[in-house]
Amino acid sequence: MRHEQIYQAIKEEHETYGYSISALCRLGNVSRAAYYKWLHRESPTNELENERIAQTIEKIHTESPDKGYRRIRDDLERYHDIKVNDKRVLRICRKRDIKSTIKYANNGCTRQAANPQFIAENILNREFYADTPNQKWLTDVTEFKYYTGKEKHKLYLSAILDLYDRRIVSYVIRDNNNNALVFDTFDKAIADNPDAHPLCHSDRGFQYTNRAFRTKLEEAGMTQSMSRVAKCIDNGPMEGFWGIIKRERYYGKKFTSRTALISMIENYIDYYNNKRLQRNLGVLTPIEKYKQYMLVALKKLPPDSKLVAEITFYFLIVYLTGSSS
């Protein structure tokens, strides 16, 4: 409706501050008659529906201010049974001045070895897709900070991400960025996925160029791949995950205890794997994408196969716990 925003502003100013309707209409260059006609109109069905949707959008935004209109639309359909398109959500967000939080640049913490013991070729070569789970893994380390008084402390998160379903396969949080941090992350991933033999890609951090890490990969039947020097984009999806967790739960906040920071990281990874919808996965969560593949694979196996029992058992555990690790 023409002058809709002006009429709404007049109504709000009058109700909030008690300003004269006549004066407000003169300022808005609209007639009092036109304003009162708008005020006493019957709200059309579409407008009432938009108001209902807007209230739900406000709730989603309050709980997760990092979400833009596309993710809000996906949440509306999945978790609130409200089916609308992107444009309608965008219009409502603009009208309510709902905006996602500011994006921040992600600062990495990669330390290259002065004398690397092994350098692998960039076999992945930015082919960030996979046909099955556990075909391609990406890994990296990032840092977080917390404060006790004026004293600053660091925590390091090492994680492995699967390129098929974008799930976090394993992760470890430690106070020191050392070989044990990366090696334990890898050992945890292997323990949870003993039959996995993926291409394992990383940057050239000192842990990954260590010969002991190379030996671990060889013993697990994996192929090692490394990014080129100073080419973060070669490990793009992994860097992208660091940006997601920090933008949505870390930047703009100040953590004042180690426990609170660890709790945030652990809770977020659980949320990311099990509840955060991704459009590049068909508006599924990483675990839903993983389960979807496992169900299809299960149906293709012969009924008397031993593997059927193993997959069924594992799948049941995943389903009951809501986690793949």
How confident is the model over 224-273, as pLDDT tens digits? Answer: 999 998 888 999 999 999 999 999 999 989 999 999 999 999 999 999 99
In-domain check, residue 269:
yes
Does this model's pTM top 0.95? My answer is no
What is the per-residue pLDDT across 25-69, written as a single tens digit (0 to 9) for each? 999 999 999 999 988 886 667 778 888 999 999 999 988 888 999
* Dist. CA 241–CA 142, nearest whole Å: 10
Model confidence at 318, in pLDDT bands (50, 70, 90)? low
pLDDT at 324 over 50: no
Residues 248 and 151 both lie in one domain: yes
Q: DSSP character for 114?
A: S
Where does a domain end: 77, 95, 113?
Answer: 95
In-domain check, residue 304:
no
Residues 90 and 141 both lie in one domain: no
Residues 81 and 146 both lie in one domain: no
The answer to which of 104-108, 199-203, 219-223, 286-290 has the lowest mean pLDDT is 104-108
Tell me how far CA of residue 7 lies from CA of 17, 31, 40, 63, 205, in angstroms.
15, 10, 12, 30, 60
In-domain check, residue 124:
no
CB-CB contact of 171 with 159 (8 Å):
yes
Residues 219 and 148 both lie in one domain: yes
Beta strand pairing status for 199-202 and 168-174? unpaired
Where does a domain end: 95, 121, 145?
Answer: 95
Edge-first strand order for the sheet with 168-174 is: 168-174, 151-162, 136-148, 199-202, 223-226
**Domain coverage including residue 265:** 136-273
Domain count, the chain: 2
Q: Show the DSSP H helices in 64-115 as ranges.
A: 69-80, 86-95
What is the per-residue pLDDT across 178-213, written as a single tens digit (0 to 9) for each? 999 999 999 999 999 999 999 999 999 999 999 999
- 314 or 138, higher pLDDT: 138
Angle at 18 between CA 12 and CA 19, to 5 degrees: 85
